[in-house]
Amino acid sequence: MAERTGAEVLVSHLAARGVKRFFGVPGGDCSLDLIDAAARAGIRFVLTRTEDSAAIMAGITAGLDGSLGVLMTTRGPGLANATNGVAWAALDRAPLLVISDGYENEQAYVSHQRFDQFALMAPLVKGSLRFDDPAALARIPALLDAAQSAPSGPVYLEVTGNGVRPRVADAGPAPGPKVAKPPALDSNKLVEARAMLAAATRPAIIAGLQVRDARAQAGLRRLAAQWRCPVFLTYMAKGAVADPYAAGSYIGGAGEEAALKAADAIIMYGADPIEFPPQPWKYAAPVLDLTRYPVDRHYFEPKVSLVGDLAAAAVELETAVEGSAWSKDELAAARAEIHRRAHAGGGAAVTPQSIVEAAAAASGSSSARVTVDAGAHMLSVLALWQAREVNDVLISRGLATMAFALPAAIGASLVDPDRPVIAFTGDGGLMMCAGELATAAELGCRLTVVVFNDSSLAMIGVKQRQRKFPAAGVDYSQSTDFAAVAKGFGCRGYRVEKGGDLVPKLAEAMRGAGPAVVDVVVDPAPYNEQLRALRG
């Protein structure tokens, strides 16, 4: 009977789930067995510069193509360096298999590079398994299913030579994913939900990250059109509905407050509280919570909670609102309010707002996908960039980590190589992952990194001023030349210091082949007012 190594069987499980590539920084032990076995199965290893970026690249590719993201690290420092990326996968709900080397059972005497790797991963992962014996192979499908079942997230697989090297009898083709189905909608709760909606004339919807799925998005669009109501979208749901119903971002801030206070029912549609700001819920209207999965803690006590398939819930409830009292003018006013607040701040020729508008003008009809980092610059991007569909804008909102935009853009570019990607990032965030510019250059990604270069951790600076502390510990004493940095890593590099250069330089950057960095010197002054206007 034919035989395969444990590594070959593991790789066959990945192939059966549509994995085309895996990411990481290898060590000299099992990583090498896995790179070799994967290559023979047509799965390519993408060598990144850091493990945490590799986790983001892997999770983003999986989120976009419906497969499983795979990160591979070496033991000890490799896994430790991946933890922020694994935390991102946990809190931003990305399906991710984390593979790391362990030590063999007979190496109990070793202390070098050794700590309890299961304990390190424990608070972040949905499951873990040690693959140090061919018998463990039988438990791999369930581990991978856990990563891919809603809410998706990371799982940890520790591998040893005693797991990946022995030959085992070929057990035939690996099964594909068996993802847990959503529970059927509870018919009593449906009756309660319909009654709640029948009493409403001004429903407002807040849609969250679970809408990043074509069926869920279609369900939301039906509800909005049927109920003719404002829909606020969390950052991760951006693009899920279009005008006239898209009212703007839900950030728990001042911009959306007037419309939500005017609502007589609030419908949460696939909203996961990991996206909510750490402030108490401020609305008195009854809440109907429609969610694919229950969550541990929430900001409000819903009047009715329906757990199950969102698209099915939309079909059941679309006729429940009997007549919408929202006028067209009110819908337009809700949208205009957030836009107006996003423009607060004025400032010098190159403002954060003008960078986003110039990037939109320069990208024209190219339907670029956008990634955004954590920082003050994200406010302008989220408020002013027009998205047509979910996943047109990618952001880390659950973890809200810096150093997300560039690796996410690389992952997006690998999935859709012909679709241009724009990564908006602060200078602080880019410096945390700048080495990945070399990864982007090697891969030939069609990617433009736009740096809001203010020599500052501007978001923290705003908070420092709000709290009346003297300026300290948030500004860089030297300005980085990211155009030069880009060239050093094999990307094209451009520097913009005057407003008039913005559109031409951005357009030139976007036209060329391979990745480019546009380093824009920006005045952070508008952030003070903009943040107050949007968040309150």
What does the binding site for ligand TPP look like in residue numbers (CB under 6 A)? 373-377, 400-403, 426-429, 452, 454, 456-460
CB of 530 to ligand TPP, least distance (A): 11
Structure tokens at 264: 């007589």
Closer of 235 and 452 to ligand TPP (Cβ): 452
- Three-state SS for 326-377 is CCHHHHHHHHHHHHHHHCCCCCCCCCHHHHHHHHHHHHCCCCCEEEECCCCH
Closer of 190 and 460 to ligand TPP (Cβ): 460
CB of 372 to ligand TPP, least distance (A): 10
**Phi, psi (rounded to 5 degrees) for 259:** -65, -40
Structure tokens at 302: 């819903």
One-character DSSP codes across 13-36: HHHHTT--EEEE---SSHHHHHHH
Closer of 29 and 373 to ligand TPP (Cβ): 373
- CA dist 500 and 336 (Å) reads 27
Q: What strand order describes the sheet that includes 421-426?
A: 393-395, 369-372, 421-426, 447-453, 516-521, 492-496
Closer of 242 and 460 to ligand TPP (Cβ): 460
Beta-carbon contacts of residue 335 (< 8 Å; ≥ 6 apart): 230, 243, 244, 246, 247, 248
Among residues 85, 81, 106, the alpha carbon closest in space to that of 26 is found at 81
Please say whether the beta carbons of 126 and 154 come within 8 A. Answer: yes
Closer of 263 and 462 to ligand TPP (Cβ): 462
Q: How many CA atoms lie less than 13 Å away from 7 in the CB half-sphere?
A: 23
Which residue's C-beta sits nearest to ligand TPP?
Answer: 426
Closer of 46 and 520 to ligand TPP (Cβ): 520
CB of 252 to ligand TPP, least distance (A): 16
- CA dist 198 and 207 (Å) reads 20
Q: Which amino acid is at 85?
A: G
- CA dist 324 and 155 (Å) reads 45
Q: Are strands 3-5 and 167-169 parallel, antiparallel or unpaired?
A: antiparallel
CB of 454 to ligand TPP, least distance (A): 5
Closer of 25 and 430 to ligand TPP (Cβ): 430
Please say whether the beta carbons of 380 and 524 come within 8 A. Answer: no
CB of 14 to ligand TPP, least distance (A): 29
CB of 94 to ligand TPP, least distance (A): 16
Closer of 152 and 456 to ligand TPP (Cβ): 456
Among residues 375, 356, 93, 340, the alpha carbon closest in space to that of 208 is found at 93
CB of 326 to ligand TPP, least distance (A): 35
CB of 520 to ligand TPP, least distance (A): 11
Closer of 402 and 483 to ligand TPP (Cβ): 402
Closer of 87 and 125 to ligand TPP (Cβ): 87
CB of 238 to ligand TPP, least distance (A): 18
CB of 506 to ligand TPP, least distance (A): 18
Q: How many CA atoms lie less than 13 Å away from 432 in the CB half-sphere?
A: 21
Q: At what angle do helices 51-65 and 77-91 cross, to 10 degrees?
A: 40
- CA dist 246 and 260 (Å) reads 13
Among residues 75, 72, 6, the alpha carbon closest in space to that of 37 is found at 6
Please say whether the beta carbons of 147 and 128 come within 8 A. Answer: no
Closer of 207 and 520 to ligand TPP (Cβ): 520
CB of 373 to ligand TPP, least distance (A): 6
Closer of 80 and 333 to ligand TPP (Cβ): 80
CB of 399 to ligand TPP, least distance (A): 8
Please say whether the beta carbons of 335 and 212 come within 8 A. Answer: no
